[in-house]
Amino acid sequence: MAALALTIAVSAEDPAGADAIALVAELSAALTAITGASGQASFEVSDVRGPRACFALARDAHGRALGCGALRPIDADVAEIKRMFARPGTRGVGSAVLRHLEAEAARWGYVALRLSTRRVNARAVAFYARHGYRPIDGYGRYAGSDVSVCFEKVLRA
């Protein structure tokens, strides 16, 4: 019997809402288990509340929160992907959140998206590579970091 396709709806939501807080806490715990660090130090809720920024949640047909991701401006042309997470067993959720963030970024006129993840997080590294993100030199707080790998995806020429 074929598996049923999961209906996923992604939309901008309050990063301080209960579901957002729960998902970010799950992400922090997962990252701590994989990398030894939660990643919380590189995320501020205020960064995703301003213009050309958002915090997105993925929900199933019953309204259950399945995953999240955020977009924050770096400069006029480049935004950064933050706090990407999909609950285990929720196939396609991460891709849906990433597509939503990319579409918002393009709509807001960003030329490229960047992100950083830990090198040891092989699953995340492979995920971003599959979605067209290419390794770049470290930027901002990640410049010179031996534990981080940074990626970029050009959205338009």
In eight-state DSSP terms, residue 110 is: -
In a domain, 78, yes or no: yes
Percent of the chain with pLDDT over 90: 78
pTM of the model: 0.91
In a domain, 1, yes or no: no
Provide the number of structural domains found in the chain: 1
Q: What is the pLDDT of residue 28?
A: 87
Look at residue 44 in the predicted model and tell me its pLDDT.
81
Work out the burial of residue 35: count CB atoms within 10 Å of its CB; fewer than 13 is exposed, 13-18 middle, 19 or more buried. Answer: middle
Per-residue model confidence (pLDDT) at position 38: 66
pLDDT at position 100 is 98
Residue-number span of the structural domain to which 16 is assigned: 9-154
Q: Which residue ranges in the chain fall short of pLDDT 50?
A: 1-4
pLDDT number for residue 2: 46
Q: Is residue 149 part of a domain?
A: yes
- State the Cα angle at 147 between 142 and 153, rounded to 5°: 55
DSSP state of 131: T
pLDDT in tens, 145-156: 999 999 999 997
Inside any domain, residue 139: yes
**CATH code assigned at 53:** 3.40.630.30
- Between CA 125 and CA 121 the distance in angstroms is 6
DSSP track, 56-71: EEEE-TT--EEEEEEE
- The kind and range of the H/E element at 21 are helix 18-35
Span between the terminal Cα atoms of the chain, in Å: 44
